[in-house]
Amino acid sequence: MIAIVGGGIAGLAAGYRLTQAGHDVRIYEAADQVGGLAASYETGGEPIERYYHHLSKSEETIVSLIEEVGLNEDLEWPIGKNAYYMDGTVYPLDRPWEIAAYPYLSLYDTFRLGMLVLGVDVREGLPSLEAYEELEAYEDVPLEQFVREHTTAGVYENFFEPLLDAKFGARKDEISAAWLLGRVRFRGERDLLRGEPLGYLKGGFGRLVDRLIEEIGAESLVTGTRVTELSTGNAGIESITIEGEESGTRSVESAIVATMPNVLEELTGYTCDIEFQGTVCSVVSMDEPLTNTYWLNIGDEAPFGALIEHTNFIDPSHYGDEHLLYVPKYVQSADDPLFAASDEDIEATWLDGIESLFPDFDRGSVNWIKTARNRRTAPVYERGYLEQVVPFDLGEAVGDGVYYAGMASRAQYPERSLDGGIVAGFEVADRILESR
């Protein structure tokens, strides 16, 4: 039997691939529900992810998997409208004329930003189309220095800095230029006249999770069960110890750890120095829309870095006409006062913040608020990151038959995603299949 630790998308993808190839797998999930960070809430209609999710056009593995399990007709690519909130005003930023009219960037700033996004280095007069191809070359370059040198001070201060503050907080100075270049490439094609098409699975990504469980067989999945130990001998992996629904020790042929790296360390002693940040994220259900934007970056002072109005992306009719707004904030440690606060206090903080940005916001229009928090939701892509990633095959470092498919793997760079989780699961499954 092949044991899989963690029933998030990575563990399920590995389980799916191995089951398809005829192997006997057992997936152990500590929580009562599978899906990990892609788990959902109920609404007045279809379920919604606890944390906002969409796909970029560059993500191909998840699209192939969605096709393979017969859900392709339900994968849609609506435009996700973006805007910036600055000095009390919402500025749409999708179409070229909107970007040109944005008062915080000069025309020259906009030109330099546009060239960077297209991957063209114009610093030497003659445009170079290949300057940013080798991401590794920018691994040790601080992001701020890179943006100031390759664009303008205005682009850094008025465009990137507020986004970096929202995403990495005080850690923004540690992030590498390679991360930014990888992110720009990751986004994929845009529709020049309308904006960026983003992928969403009708009914939520939970449907992909459910289809994978059907394919793997629900009997191979044990929820409410934590793996607490992984034992290896001279010949490699021997057994795992579990607590919960099926307590005890079981011998295994291989073990895939599809969790954050701190769990890998607890189970095997393998240490990974990648730092993780956490997220506090609420879904606010309202009777009416707050904005007409999907993704609103907040440049002004607010307790959250962005407001993501899901029902400006997917029609509210899917949710019993509820208007659904994500209010997220990244936190750098479990001691962050927001992370430690009660759901009620967090929710009051969000509503006060929304009211201060949108004085017409009517608290009476709120139907319900649900809040999720997780101490580890995204790696901090610091300089030198790629040297820290955990290999898929831990045969040498831990013992033969031990594999890693969690968020600290190479597949989750330059941005963690569902696609990256699936790639990690497949990479590991393929290595196991090749070894037999």
Ligand X SMILES: Cc1cc2nc3c(=O)[nH]c(=O)nc-3n(C[C@H](O)[C@H](O)[C@H](O)COP(=O)(O)OP(=O)(O)OC[C@H]3O[C@@H](n4cnc5c(N)ncnc54)[C@H](O)[C@@H]3O)c2cc1C
Indicate the SS3 state at residue 339: helix
Among 2, 8, 213, 237, binds ligand X (CB under 6 A): 8
For ligand X, the binding residues in 85-114 under the rule CB under 6 A are: none
Instruction: Give which of 79, 61, 166 is closest to 420, Cα–Cα.
Output: 61
What x/- string results for residues 60 through 89 when contact with ligand X is judged by CB under 6 A? Answer: ------------------------------
* Measured distance CA(142)–CA(84) in Å, rounded: 25
Give residue 266's Cα distance to chain centre. 24
**Closer residue to ligand X (CB): 316 or 420:** 420
Indicate the SS3 state at residue 46: coil
Judged by CB under 6 A, how many residues of this single chain contact ligand X?
36
- At position 214, the amino acid (one-letter code) is E
Q: Is the separation of the CB atoms in 328 and 52 below 8 Å?
A: yes
Among 2, 25, 37, 369, binds ligand X (CB under 6 A): 37
Among 158, 282, 312, 417, binds ligand X (CB under 6 A): 417
**Closer residue to ligand X (CB): 225 or 285:** 225
Among 279, 282, 297, 371, binds ligand X (CB under 6 A): 279
**Torsion over CA: 58, 60, 61, 66 (sign):** positive
**Closer residue to ligand X (CB): 180 or 408:** 408
Residue 304 in contact with ligand X, rule: CB under 6 A: no
The interface region with ligand X, picked from 18-26, 65-73, 102-110, 410-418 by CB under 6 A, is: 410-418
Kindly report the three-state secondary structure assignment for every residue of 264-310.
HHHHHCCCCCCCEEEEEEEEEEECCCCCCCCEEEECCCCCCCEEEEH
Cβ burial, residue 217 (10 Å; 0-12/13-18/19+): exposed
Cis link prior to 414 (omega < 30° from 0)?
A: yes
Instruction: Give which of 310, 316, 413, 298 is closest to 358, Cα–Cα.
Output: 298
Strands 221-222 and 25-28, by their bridges, are parallel
Among 209, 237, 281, 429, binds ligand X (CB under 6 A): 281
For ligand X, the binding residues in 209-248 under the rule CB under 6 A are: 226-227
| Residue 123: partners with Cβ closer than 8 Å, 6 or more residues away | 149, 150
> How many other C-beta atoms are found inside a 10 Å radius of the C-beta of residue 195?
19
Q: How far is the CB of 22 from ligand X (least distance, A)?
A: 23
**Closer residue to ligand X (CB): 379 or 401:** 379
Residue 261 in contact with ligand X, rule: CB under 6 A: no
* Measured distance CA(406)–CA(390) in Å, rounded: 9
Among 295, 377, 381, 393, binds ligand X (CB under 6 A): 377
**Closer residue to ligand X (CB): 15 or 299:** 15
**Closer residue to ligand X (CB): 13 or 177:** 13
Among 258, 286, 298, 380, binds ligand X (CB under 6 A): 258
Among 2, 11, 310, 349, binds ligand X (CB under 6 A): 11
Residue 53 in contact with ligand X, rule: CB under 6 A: yes
The interface region with ligand X, picked from 23-31, 103-111, 117-125, 132-140 by CB under 6 A, is: 23-31
- At position 306, the amino acid (one-letter code) is A
**Closer residue to ligand X (CB): 105 or 407:** 407
Q: How far is the CB of 62 from ligand X (least distance, A)?
A: 7
| Residue 108: partners with Cβ closer than 8 Å, 6 or more residues away | 152
Q: How far is the CB of 132 from ligand X (least distance, A)?
A: 23
Q: Which residues bind ligand X (CB under 6 A)?
A: 5-11, 28-31, 36-38, 51-55, 226-227, 258-259, 263, 279, 281, 328, 377, 406-407, 416-421
